[in-house]
Structure 1
Amino acid sequence: MRADAQKPPVRLKLSVSPKAETILRGGHPWLFSDSIRSQNREGAAGELAVIYDRKDAFLAIGLYDPDSPIRVRVLHAGKPATLNESWWRERLRRCIEARSAMFAKDPNTTGYRVCNGESEGWPGWVIDRYADTLVLKIYSAAWFPHLEMLLNLLGTELPSSRVVLRLSRNIQSKDPAWRDGTVIRGEPLEGAVVFHENGIAFEAEVLRGQKTGFFLDQRDNRRLVGELSRGRDVLNA
């Protein structure tokens, strides 16, 4: 075996346009393909790509996707950071702690979003909770190489009876190891999942329904409709 055969691969390095520099410094989580001025080599889906500015200083790091116009989904910007398991665990814990604080006084609600994609540093990735079922929806194949590690973190930080995987249409054929609408951890599931929202029981078709199975973002609207319609006959047209 040649001595250089065991060398780790050179980190994927990208330099971007001045406009992209400004946008990334402003916190935007996407780097588009036409904003890349140069890169040192070809990259694989899910590889960590380091983005540098015009002065060759660190700008950001994210998940590379060679098949998407969103070439990099930014995970961290600012000062250099090591994205190891501890880093991922801390980011996940921040989401869980935020939801725990939000619903601590509302035990009658067991359906809510745990990780809200780009707005919480998880670009192309959301997690919804329906009682004891977690539903993971992925919008980029760049997440596939990291799934096992992240599922292990979920198992320790947010225990559940099962985890269901949902994939956006554009990536459903990217990796045969991961299939849309399947239980990838935990107990099998047949039919709908029952959860509660403001004390009312709902069913979510998490294996085949739209998005992750329910429109959890309409929780406040459903509560408002309940208040306005209390004691009245209502036509659902």
Structure 2
Amino acid sequence: MKSERTYPVYRVNKHAEGLLVGGHPWVYENDILEAPGTTPENGTLVDVVSPKGAYLGTGFLSLKSKIRVRLISRNANDTFDTAFWRRRVEYAWAYRKTVLEPADLSACRFIFGEADQFPGLTVDRFNNVLVTQTLSVGMEKLKPVLFPLLAEVLRADGQTIDGIYERNDEALRAKEGLEQNKGWFTLPGESHPETTQTEICENGVYYHVDFENGQKTGFSLDQKYNRRAVARLAAGHTVLDCFTHTGSFALNAAKGGAARVTAADISAEAIAMAKRNAERNGLDNMDFLCEDTFALLPRLEKEGSPYDFIILDPPAFTKARRTVENAMRGYKEINYRAMKLLPRGGYLATASCSHFATEDLFIKMLRAAAKDAHRQLRQIEVKQQAPDHPILWGVPETNYLKFFLFQVI
């Protein structure tokens, strides 16, 4: 028997009903037909019903955002107390323990927003520290209940968690009416570590992680198994890793037995970090280049290139639908240049981390680049993000990473 509803009710149109029934958790402002007479408190829980009044779910209200409601449940019998959130955290951790190898649990994405039914929340684990990013007002208000549970659940499983660090220095928070900030979250009765740096190990490679100042939460964990695929092919090859950032692909290639690896990035800070990681791992088959990839590849084409394996893992060239066309031109330019640069029989690893650069668009771009470069692509492997960043069908925003391994012939 359904419990009696006490939450404010938002009635939505047929378009929103179709999306929600299909599994998407968002209700847009423009799809609301009827709102409560008295506006509820921002960030509170509300019910969503169909045009005919059928219950569709319960979610967090966001009065400042175009995404007006983010569903957290479609079960009318759910009670949203501490026990509910503990179960959901336990469920997320149990999933990671199932899909990841035990060695990977010390550096993984613990909570992946909507895919784990925590809309607007990211939680990454870096060894003894959890690093969070909160991008919805509902999750912001829930932190005093939820964040202690994150530590409790992991500790109950024998994991060492010394603190929770918030990386809320993200412009998207403004769309929720939230201010940017970063710093330690105070767990009741606990002190936090003195340092905002730690070390992780992924695929047997050690990385220094600055989770206060590093990109996003401090380190990109979504390519862990793609890096392993590169390491497996790298033995004996001369490798160029463009957009190296922390050096992750380059380090995996070097550890995999590459004859020589060049790690290149436009950022001097990134190159310094990659060098530090190489030294930590005792890798002496690497060199480093601070140069823009868009200038580097044409220069190497003119001067002659020693590389027979090129890795392209750029930052997202587009974060909005309106800039997709320009982004695809950028992707095509670097892929075309890499294909031209490689000897026939060489290898290309190429990726995009933009949700808006869809797989169809990315494949179309690769075909065009290969045609213009007068090359043919022999596909070795196609991969996506690691399974601790699960793709929830019905929620296309969770599907963002494309990764292709080719032999260029």
Q: Please confirm whether the aligned pair reaches a TM-score higher than 0.5, indicating the same fold.
A: yes
In structure 2, do the counterparts of structure 1 residues 192 and 121 end up closer, same or farther at CA, with 3 Å as the change threshold?
Answer: same
CA shift for structure 1 position 191: 4.3
Deviates more, 1:12-21 or 1:150-159: 150-159
**1:195 corresponding residue in structure 2:** 200
1:101 maps to: 98
Residue 135 of structure 1: CA displacement? 0.7
**CA distance change for structure 1 residues 108 and 93 in 2, over 3 Å: closer, same or farther?**
closer
Once the two structures are overlaid, the 10-residue window that deviates more, 224-233 or 70-79, is 224-233
Deviations 1:137-167 (A, max 9, x none): 1111222221100022123212310101122
> Cα deviation per residue 1:180-199 (whole Å; 9 max; x = unaligned)?
32111342343422111112
Matched with 1:211 is 216
How big is each residue's C-alpha offset from its partner over 1:14-39, in whole Å with a ceiling of 9 and x where there is no partner? 00001111111111011110011111
Match of 1:165 in 2: 166
User: Are positions 1:180 and 2:181 aligned together?
Assistant: yes
Question: Identity over the aligned pairs, expressed in percent?
Answer: 28
Question: Do the aligned residues in 1 keep the contact of 2:131 with 2:165 (CA within 8 Å)?
Answer: yes
Q: How many residues align?
A: 225
On the 8 A contact 2:108/2:126 being kept in 1, the answer is yes
Q: Which runs of 4+ in 1 moved over 3 A?
A: 172-176
Residue among 116, 122, 134 paired with 2:118: 122
CA contact (8 A) 1:109 1:198 kept: no
Structure with max Cα Rg: 2
The alpha-carbon distance between structure 1 residues 180 and 133, as it changes in their structure 2 partners (threshold 3 A), is same
Matches within 5 A, 1:216-227: 216-227=221-232
Superposition map of 1:1-237 within 5 A: 11-40=7-36, 41-103=38-100, 105-107=101-103, 110-159=106-155, 160-167=161-168, 168-171=170-173, 174=177, 180-185=181-186, 186-229=191-234, 230-231=256-257, 232-237=259-264
Alpha-carbon offset, residue 83 of structure 1: 1.6
Contact 1:27–1:77 at 8 Å: present in 2 too? Answer: no
The residue type paired with residue 138 of structure 2 is A
Letter in 1 for 2:199: V
Give the structure 2 partner of residue 4 of structure 1. none
Task: Return 58-67 or 135-144, whichever deviates more.
Answer: 135-144
> Does the Cα contact within 8 Å between 1:127 and 1:136 map onto a contact in 2?
yes
What is the TM-score of this pair, normalised by structure 2?
0.52
CA, structure 1 residues 49+109, in 2 after alignment: closer, same or farther (shift >3 Å)? closer
Shift of 1:45: 2.2
Change (3 A) 1:188 1:116: same
1:6: which partner in 2? Answer: none
Q: Which has the higher helix share?
A: 2
Task: Report the TM-score, using the length of structure 1 for normalisation.
Answer: 0.87
User: Which of 10-19 and 224-233 deviates more?
Assistant: 224-233
Larger RCO of the pair (alpha carbons < 8 Å, separation 6+):
1
- Aligned letter for 1:74? L
| Structure 1 match to 2:405 | none
Which ranges of structure 1 fall in alignment gaps of 5 or more residues?
Answer: 1-9
Aligned residue type for 2:82: E
CA, structure 1 residues 109+82, in 2 after alignment: closer, same or farther (shift >3 Å)?
closer
Q: Which amino acid aligns with 1:26?
A: G
Instruction: Please report the RMSD computed on the Cα atoms of aligned residues, expressed in angstroms.
Output: 2.1
